[in-house]
Amino acid sequence: MIEGGTLNGELRRMGRRRQILVEPQSLEAVRTGRDTSRSCDEAASLLGTSNFQIERLRRSGLIASIPESAGGYRYDENALHTLLSRLRTLAEPMAHPAADMIALADLPAHKRARLSSVIQEVLNGHLPLWMERSTSSLQSLHALYVRRDEVFGHTIRPSGDRCLSVREAAKALGVTVRMIPILVHAGCLQADAQQGRLRKCGFPWKAIIGFQQNYCLSRDLPARSGISHRGLAASLRMYGLQPLIPSDSKHGISYAWRKSEILAYL
């Protein structure tokens, strides 16, 4: 516990033996902390979630913990209540949850959303939160709700347009996932964003069609031109054509060009 920083003290080696010196104030603070701490089972019951989610919250730095000498952790009770209090302060009261809402306690059942990440988004002010007033679970995550479309995203819009996630958009275009935000930033791919962040399903199908109609990747061109990617890029630069996105093969990034310019050259 001294090596982990829980106790203030020092270890002194005396031949084959070790002498452990601990500051009395530090030892008393640890004792007090243990008296007001909860086990993992108790912390999970207090928040209304599972032991596994408590561990994730700890790793995310959302709740304070005290390491046990035999392994595992105990959780500061005040920190648990503070987290709930912060969430309730940010939540908008409501009589009953709407059909398109989901309780924070129910999020772990859906693999598409991580509870710790959603809570962090709420605390950062990026995700609205609601609180059910008339409930016996007012002190737990069972009484706090988010809208499903804000967490999971729309798959079908009211207009009938199909929407894709980042991974689905990458698969549809045949590119790596890390290339998608680069295409969006370059203005090649239309996407819906909220406060500068891409939505869960922020790529309408018409955006995929629009990219395929107006842009192309250098991998698609050698079959027509008969030269390598690198040679093609060098040749195009000689004619004053610059790629919208430079290539980075190490990270799976391909050249992207405007089709109208490339076809005029070829």
Burial class (CB in 10 A: 0-12, 13-18, 19+), 193: exposed
Residue 228 has what pLDDT?
66
> Is there a contact between 218 and 230 (Cβ–Cβ < 8 Å)?
no
Using the structure block, give the residue that is written with the tokens 């530090």.
26
Burial class (CB in 10 A: 0-12, 13-18, 19+), 224: exposed
Residue 144 has what pLDDT?
94
pLDDT at 122 over 70: yes
Average pLDDT, the chain: 79
Q: What is the pLDDT of residues 134-178, one digit of tens each?
A: 655 557 899 999 988 778 765 655 555 677 888 888 888 988 888
Q: What is the DSSP letter of 220?
A: G
Q: What is the pLDDT of residues 22-52, one digit of tens each?
A: 666 655 555 555 667 889 999 999 999 999 9
Q: What is the pLDDT of residues 230-262, one digit of tens each?
A: 677 777 777 777 888 877 877 778 778 888 877
Residue 50 has what pLDDT?
93
> Is there a contact between 59 and 68 (Cβ–Cβ < 8 Å)?
no
Q: pTM for the complete prediction? A: 0.54
H/E run at residue 122: helix 115-123
